[in-house]
Amino acid sequence: MNRQPTANVTPISAPPVGKLERTRQRLVRAIREEVNATGNFSAETVAARAGISTATFYNHFSTRDAALLVSSETVLGELMEIVRDQCCIEKLLDQGLYDFAYGWVERAIPIFRDDACLLRLLGAATGVSVEMKALARRHQDGLLGIYTRFIELGQAASVIRQGDNTAIAQVLLVTAESWNHPLMQHLEPGSAFHHEMTETLARILAPGVPGKCSPAPSKGE
């Protein structure tokens, strides 16, 4: 039986980004740059920075709040990817706790340095916008899920201290959220500040940390 020649198969690639999406991405970059430079933005200032008309801005975003929502989704998505990639038990086992924590802080520096003002705008908007509040909650829940699973695996491998993994994950979340501070805009990789942040993060996770406080005795004991 003669075999038919195998046809050449062209791998399926992702479709090219269309003009509308490229313009939308350009606007989001302009919003991030404008907020980083001035602390706020308007349709007019973003359009000028992006080199397009204000009408084009409103073709993509019905309101300023809609633009803030999309821009915030972009930044939070980048943060989530950093955490998802960094909170890898194989990476911790390969690098050791200090180098692992050092790399985590190093990767987070650009986001908290360049998008700190945008994150603060998002924080302020969560008090008045249902959509912003829902976005922040989804992001928080996603991070907690990643942290909890990572801690669970680290505890099983004896490279993260024992304890309530959900509670430790919550401490990690609160610690990382505190990085959205104006001082982060002056943090240089390799600086004493960077090393101290690394030590703080490592202490949260380190097994066998001496000096653990015991619960205070209840009254009457």
Q: What is the pLDDT of residue 2?
A: 42
| Residue showing tokens 């030590």 | 199
Task: Report the C-alpha gap between 191 and 181 in whole angstroms.
Answer: 17
Q: What is the pLDDT of residue 77?
A: 95
The pLDDT-based confidence of 133 (bands split at 50, 70, 90) is: very high
Q: In terms of pLDDT, which residue wins out, 187 or 193?
A: 193
Tell me how many helices (H) and strands (E) the chain has.
Answer: 10, 0
Q: What is the pLDDT of residue 151?
A: 97
Query: By the 8 A CB rule, do 111 and 79 touch?
Result: yes
163-188 in b/e burial notation, b at 16+ Cβ within 10 A? eebeebbeebbeebeebbeeebeebe
Task: Report the C-alpha gap between 93 and 113 in whole angstroms.
Answer: 29
> Given a cut of 90, is residue 155 above it in pLDDT?
yes
Amino acid letter at 156? A
Please compute the mean of the pLDDT values over residues 143-149 and round it to a whole number: 97
Q: What is the pLDDT of residue 180?
A: 86
> Given a cut of 50, is residue 105 above it in pLDDT?
yes
> Given a cut of 60, is residue 42 above it in pLDDT?
yes
Q: What is the pLDDT of residue 5?
A: 41
| pTM: predicted TM-score of the whole model, two decimal places | 0.81
Task: Report the C-alpha gap between 92 and 165 in whole angstroms.
Answer: 17
Give the tens place of pLDDT for each residue, 177-191: 888 888 887 888 889
Task: Report the C-alpha gap between 24 and 21 in whole angstroms.
Answer: 5
Task: Report the C-alpha gap between 150 and 121 in whole angstroms.
Answer: 30
With 0-12 / 13-18 / 19 or more C-beta atoms within 10 angstroms meaning exposed / middle / buried, residue 46 is buried
Percent of the chain surpassing pLDDT 90: 72
Between CA 212 and CA 162, with CA 201 as vertex, the angle to 5 degrees is: 45
Average pLDDT value over all residues in the chain: 87
Q: What is the pLDDT of residue 115?
A: 92
Runs of H (alpha helix) within 4-63: 19-38, 43-50, 54-60
C-alpha distances out from residue 12 to 5, 8, 15, Å: 21, 12, 9
| Beta-carbon contacts of residue 169 (< 8 Å; ≥ 6 apart) | 144, 147, 148, 151
Residues in the chain: 221
The domains found in the chain, sorted by start residue, are: 21-62 (1.10.10), 64-205 (1.10.357.10)
